[in-house]
Amino acid sequence: MGYRVAVVGATGAVGREMLKTLAERAFPVDEIAALASARSVGQEVSFGDKKVLKVQNLEHFDFTGWDIALFSPGASVSAVHAPRAAKAGCIVIDNTSHFRMEPDVPLVVPEVNPDALKKARRGIIANPNCSTIQMVVALKPLHDLFSIRRVVVSTYQAVAGAGKEGMDELFAQSRASFVGDPLKAEQFTKQIAFNCIPHIDRFMDDGATKEEWKMAVETRKILDPDISVFATCVRVPVFIGHAEAVTVEFEEPVDLERARDVLREAPGVVLHDQREDGGYVTQIDCVGEDATYVSRLRVDPTVPNGLAFWCVADNLRKGAALNAVQIAEAMIALDLIGRKAA
């Protein structure tokens, strides 16, 4: 017996990756539905190598009798339809930002805080921001060992974080640069081809962007409310894969070899740190992979008990689709989802 699973936002980059991930991990599916807006109804999306799904209209879909819904349709759509699905008895795992900071909605990375799933009283679990996910996966074993006081992070975020439209704009601008056509900036505030833009999401009153705010508040909710986080988030001309340069100040003295040991053993982390040419992982290396890769691990002598590292992950997989599917797997393992499928 398997589960009845709906994927909401199935025609988007993350929605397609959710379907791909469910199939690749042989998630126990008895029936699957691909849902999107009215303009996408009738389109076809793949589920595994052999199955093709016809997209159905989210607006008219009845979630009664469905076990799990993976949502990635945009925050305003989730705000309306995620509670509707949960009210019908369907467990919702939402990839948008809408529910993340609501106190009665768990914000979960399964390698970090799986016990929070037991508090999903509303039937909704939030998937964290992509840049937060990979950082806390790497920070968790270090926090358990040395106790984190402060994190300073600079991100190098791929255009896939802005969806298919973001990837299309990078491609179009790159092509236009070579053939001499005019460049149009529509999805980003400046030209993204051959450029870096220190601006993701809207600006807030203190000068931070909302993406930077998300990394701080989400890390505290997931990992520890006493951790200080200062982020600078940058969009870079890479299609898929986020990178982060992370500097951490701990409460306790740092031992580099102990840090290496716990990272080697940490779930979801691959330590690839060789002090030689190419002895580190870059964004292009992590595309299609499930792990968070940690490289360039070293002591930071400029702060007490300091450690620095570089981490990369596929933002469509661990940063979104894979984490959502892992949440569903963890809920099954914890016996928090009952089957409704016959």
Q: Which CATH superfamily is domain 3-127+321-334 in?
A: NAD(P)-binding Rossmann-like Domain (3.40.50.720)
Would the pTM count as exceeding 0.75? yes
So what's the pLDDT on residue 50? 85
Closest CA to 10 of 49, 48, 43, 59: 43
Q: What is the mean pLDDT of residues 14-20?
A: 96
So what's the pLDDT on residue 1? 76
**What is the tens place of the pLDDT at every residue in 109-129?**
999 999 999 999 899 999 999
**Which residue ranges are tagged as binding site for NADP(+)?**
11-14, 39-40, 182, 315
Cα separation, 342 vs 331, in Å, equals 20
Structure tokens at 298: 């070293």
Cα separation, 37 vs 100, in Å, equals 23
Predicted confidence band of residue 339 (pLDDT cuts 50, 70, 90): low
Closest CA to 70 of 51, 102, 101, 47: 47
Place of tokens 């998630």: 27
Residue 308 has pLDDT above 90, yes or no: yes
End-to-end Cα spacing for the chain: 7
DSSP structure class, residue 128 = P
Domain(s) labelled CATH 3.40.50.720 in the chain stretch across 3-127+321-334
So what's the pLDDT on residue 340? 59
248: which residues sit within 8 A by CB, 6+ positions away?
139, 142, 148, 150, 151, 152, 300, 306, 307, 308, 309
So what's the pLDDT on residue 334? 94
Q: What is the DSSP track for 73-107?
A: S-HHHHHHHHHHHHHTT-EEEE-SSTTTT-TTS-B
Residue 338 has pLDDT above 80, yes or no: no
Question: Which positions are catalytic?
Answer: 130, 242
Diameter of the chain by CA atoms? 61
Contact between 296 and 310 (Cβ < 8 Å): yes
Helix-strand-coil percent breakdown of the chain, rounded to 5?
Answer: 35, 25, 40
Name the CATH topology of 131-158+196-313.
Dihydrodipicolinate Reductase; domain 2 (3.30.360)
Residue 131 vs residue 1, higher pLDDT? 131
Residue 106 has pLDDT above 50, yes or no: yes
Residue 342 has pLDDT above 50, yes or no: no
Give the CA-trace dihedral at 261, 217, 280, 288, to 10 degrees: 110
**Which residue ranges are tagged as binding site for phosphate?**
100
**Which residue ranges are tagged as binding site for substrate?**
157, 235
